[in-house]
Amino acid sequence: MEPLQQHFEVHDRLHESDPAAFAKIAPTIRGICGGGESKVPGALMAQLPALEIVSIMGVGYDGVDVPAAIGRKVPVTHTPNVLNDEVADLTLGLMLSIARKIPQADQYVRAGRWGKEGPFPLTRKMSGARLGIVGLGRIGQAIATRAEGFGMSVAYTARSAKKELAYAYYPSAKELAAQVDFLVIITPGGAATKHMINAEVFKALGPRGYLINVARGSVVDEAALVTALQQGVIAGAALDVYEKEPHPMEALWSMDNVVLTPHMASGTRETRQAMADLAVNNLVAHFSGKPLISPVPECAN
Ligand code: NAP
Ligand code: 8YV
């Protein structure tokens, strides 16, 4: 907020907190700044006749109606790359957490169970295991590099095979899942990937397989995931994102074979600052007539 307020007159989420007051100032609004999860529907943009730009502080922009923005000649920007390390770090942390049951072990000590019940039950080895990545883009590749440090084999699926990379390519998530121990999801959200990870994929992943979702909740069929976890179709899941945020399905809360984080993969002071700087700098560039730093691909030409 501070750097935004230095450059602009900011109305902080007034459309949500006071729609009547928002309606009065709406004709003067020239830019929208929002987070990666922000909803910027065409209906909101339609209330803003002077709108010139939408700047998203996040790499994912599935909440923005990009065709509607383009129809209005309103460019959309986002914050790619500056968060690759952070999201990849948390992903490896989630993989270790679910395989080694680190949060559960922490609870075991805090609840005094170590002294009463003895050693913690044995867990699962991650080093040397097989990793499958659904979406081998900027963040997916950062995850792959880290996994190599754990001696893991890496395979992936994406819209297209990456000839320049030595990892094995599978044409679908289901075929990939059948070959791996850990299946990490890191695609964009939106209609094209909705429920791409479903009951069929869980069956292919199998009873020793772990699902890790750091992409968007919409990519995974959460109800089918709950069933798969309850029935032992897969070994476990570590999730940073959910279909209804901030309300993950309650069935997940009490399960021992899941690790849940609250959409925090990019959430360090350092990285959020870098994302904020880029989001603000895109706005500053636009309003000073300079080229945008990081338009979304659909607006790059
Ligand atoms: P990116 O560089 O654009 O990579 C996206 C990857 O997904 C690409 O490999 C792409 O395939 C693949 N993909 C896209 N649509 C697909 C489809 N329909 N089927 C299969 N694969 C598909 O994006 P990124 O910077 O790595 O970010 C990825 C996503 O992570 C973001 O969009 C966001 O939703 C999520 N994210 C979450 C957090 C968090 O806090 N949990 C933080 C940052 C990002 P091609 O390579 O063939 O094009
Ligand atoms: C953030 C994200 O939680 O970049 C994304 O797509 O989901 C996350 O980095 C969010 O965008 C912060 O605004």
Q: Which domains does the chain have, with CATH numbers?
A: 2-81+268-299 (3.40.50.720), 84-260 (3.40.50.720)
Residue 216 annotated in active site: yes
CA–CA gap between residue 156 and residue 167 (Å, rounded):
7
Residue type, 286: H
- pLDDT, averaged per 10 consecutive residues of the chain (301 residues), comes to 95 94 97 93 96 98 97 98 98 98 98 98 98 98 98 98 97 98 98 98 98 98 98 98 97 97 98 98 98 97 76
Q: Is the CB of 59 inside a 6 Å radius of any atom of ligand 1? A: yes
Q: Is the peptide bond before 246 cis (omega within 30 degrees of 0)?
A: yes
Give the separation between CA 179 and CA 157, rounded to whole angstroms.
12
Two tokens, residue 251: 């069935």
pLDDT on residue 243: 98
Please report, for residues 38, 242, 261, the alpha-carbon distance to residue 245 in angstroms, rounded to integers and kept in the order given.
11, 6, 11
Q: Note if 243 is an active site residue.
A: no
Answer yes or no: 113 catalytic.
Answer: no
Q: What is residue 300's predicted lDDT score, i.e. its pLDDT?
A: 94
Q: Which ligand is nearest to the CA of 278?
A: 2
Report the residue among 38, 90, 157, 187 best suited for mutation to probe ligand 1: largest number of ligand atoms under 8 A from its CB.
Answer: 187
Distance 59 CA to ligand 2 centre (A): 6
Q: How far is the CA of 35 from the centre of ligand 2 (A)?
A: 6
* Confidence at residue 169, expressed as pLDDT on a 0 to 100 scale: 98
Tokens 């109305």 sit on residue: 11
Output the CA 160–ligand 1 centroid distance in Å: 12
Residue 239 pLDDT? 98
User: Annotated catalytic residue: which of 37, 216, 222, 243?
Assistant: 216
Global pTM exceeds 0.75:
yes
